[in-house]
Amino acid sequence: MSQVDNYQGPTGNLPDGHGRAPERFENPGLPAHKPRLGDVDPKVDKRRQRIVLALFGVSTLGTIGFLVAYFALPTGRDVATIHRSNLWLGLGLAASLLGIGLAAIQWAKSIMNNEEKVEERHPMASRPEVREAAVRNLAEGAKDSGISRRGLLKSAVVGSLALFPLTIAVPLIGEIGGDWNVGKLKHTMWKKGLRLTIDPSGRPIKASDVTIGSVFHVIPDGLDKTPDPLEEKAKAVVLVVRLDPQVVKSEQIPGASYQGIFAFSKICTHVGCPVALYEQQTHHLLCPCHQSTFDVADGARVIFGPAKRPLPQLPITVDDQGYLVAQSDFTQPVGPSFWERLR
């Protein structure tokens, strides 16, 4: 006997009293709907509409403020200027998103119909009357939202939602213009005789400071005196490591190292992330973004990951005071391989 056959209703019979479950169950009942103050008082309804309108206005002003800050504020490379610019951009973006979110919440809670309804279960069949009912439900939903009757609110929500994507799109395309010259990435400020200094202290580094297994993040001497230090650093930063000569398998450039001290570009040849994780036992450099792995003992050859070419090597030697200096600039472009295709 099935579970339906075993079912006993309040009177000892099945729900319909005829030995089988009914095709439709009756509405279990809901508490009587209590209208909100705004549903019965037009003045309250208007006030709530004005609140929603004001919140969408805040969103619109936030987007406009973001765009003004993006185009009008100075774009210097010093830390104070960058922080000030980021502050105003963040405030504009926050106002834009917060205004839309709060307006949507207020609209749903105070303007849209809040009456609970029960939809009876029915056989899952796409009959014509079902499709007609679905269309009616959509029409009722649009009517309940009040958007068709409130043209000003409709304009506000459309305007704020239409403007908000600009906060994302403008920064993405804003840098594409006359300065889109990837050829400048082919050369760095390294040159013959330029000392290697420790980042960020700027202290020149001697060969005797680099012990076997140690790693130093290095920048060119005088970097802070260039017109654009951040841009120069992004291209010229290198990683210096010293190996036991017995573990060296091959050199990328013959004569470019000094007594087991190697200097390689810190910019991954995949998409330009900083290669900063050194495994002392395996002599591997790891890029944390996509796990490209380079073997320092084998000319920074790629042994794993999506990178397609070794890290460029900076030829180095020492000066008459024992400080590490560059022999020349990199002999090949630094950074992602796709930059090379754009040159």
Angle at the Cα of 69 from the Cα atoms of 223 and 153, rounded to 5 degrees: 155
Return the CA Rg of the chain.
34
Length of the chain: 343
Domain 184-342 fold is Rieske Iron-sulfur Protein (2.102.10)
Q: What whole-number distance in Å separates Cα of residue 308 and Cα of residue 299?
A: 14
Please report, for residues 31, 39, 112, the alpha-carbon distance to residue 115 in angstroms, rounded to integers and kept in the order given.
10, 11, 9
Nearest-CA neighbor of 209 among 252, 258, 278? Answer: 258
Q: What is the pLDDT of residue 27?
A: 55
Domain residue ranges in the chain:
35-174, 184-342
Which pLDDT score is estimated for 78? Answer: 64
Q: Is 312 helix (H, G, I), strand (E, B) or coil?
A: coil
Within the chain, which residues score under 70 in pLDDT?
1-29, 75-79, 119-126, 146-150, 172-185, 338-343
| pTM across the whole model | 0.51
Render pLDDT for 48-86 as a digit per residue (tens, 0 to 9). 999 999 999 999 999 999 999 888 887 665 667 777 888
Q: How many CB atoms sit inside 10 A of residue 243's CB?
A: 19
Question: Which residues make beta-bridge pairs with 275?
Answer: none
What integer pLDDT is reported at residue 29 of this predicted model? 64
CA distance 328 to 259: 18
The 8-class DSSP code of residue 333 comes to -
- Give the separation between CA 195 and CA 213, rounded to whole angstroms: 21
What is the structure's pLDDT at 175? 53
Q: Scanning the structure block, which residue is given the tokens 């304009």?
A: 155
| 274: preceding bond cis by omega (within 30 degrees) | no
Q: What does the DSSP assignment read for 35-79?
A: --HHHH-HHHHHHHHHHHHHHHHHHHHHHHHHHHHHHHS---SSH
The two structure tokens encoding residue 197 = 């200094």
Q: Give the span between the Cα atoms of 306 and 228, in whole angstroms.
A: 31
Look at residue 205 in the predicted model and tell me its pLDDT. 93
Angle between helices 79-110 and 42-72 (to 10 degrees): 160
Burial state string for 61-74 with b = 16 or more CB within 10 A and e = fewer than 16? bbbebbbebbeeee
Q: Using alpha carbons, select from 264, 253, 273 the residue that is nearest to residue 311.
A: 264
Cα separations in angstroms, 227 against 25, 78, 135, 233: 79, 11, 65, 12
The candidate with the shortest Cα–Cα distance to 238, out of 311, 298, 338, is 311
Q: Report d(CA 314, CA 302) in Å as an integer.
A: 17
Q: At what angle do helices 151-163 and 42-72 cross, to 10 degrees?
A: 20
pLDDT of residue 28: 59
